[in-house]
Structure 1
Amino acid sequence: IYNSSLINKKSERDDIRAIAVPANEIADELGSARVANMVLLGTFIEATNLIKPESVEKALRAVLSERHHNLIPLNMQALERGRAYQ
């Protein structure tokens, strides 16, 4: 999974699955380039089923200070956009 906003070269290998996600553009549509990483994480979650989206929100609440909890909805929205991108 890679940010096709920054990398425009496609993989030449046929033994892997490369997923190009325009994470910067999606993040910009949401109003903040800072959530591009969450877009990519959402794509990873959807592609692998290794992490539950609820676990991400729980982790954000645990690691972010209370004053930054207002950023959680935007981050979760970015995560969902990444999940839906596939």
Structure 2
Amino acid sequence: MYDLTGFQRDLLTVIAGEEEPHGLAVKEELEEYYESEIHHGRLYPNLDTLVDKGLVEKGTRDRRTNVYTLTRRGRRELEARREWESQYLDF
């Protein structure tokens, strides 16, 4: 997780919170959070990086729509990140 960008960590978080999210749904969630447009040229290469690192699995819903799900490793990495953050964020 240490080698991911903040944007990639946010992608993991959104993917974890959705059931079979597709690229456009992830994009819309992040645009709402960032309050700015997320370009396809930023979104899809970062999703591909997460797939290449084994944190996300890419599947297909239909011929035009890819879906993304966390792998076990991706879920473990998010959980480890949450535990690490909780050391510093005592709310």
More helix by share: 1
Same fold (TM over 0.5): no
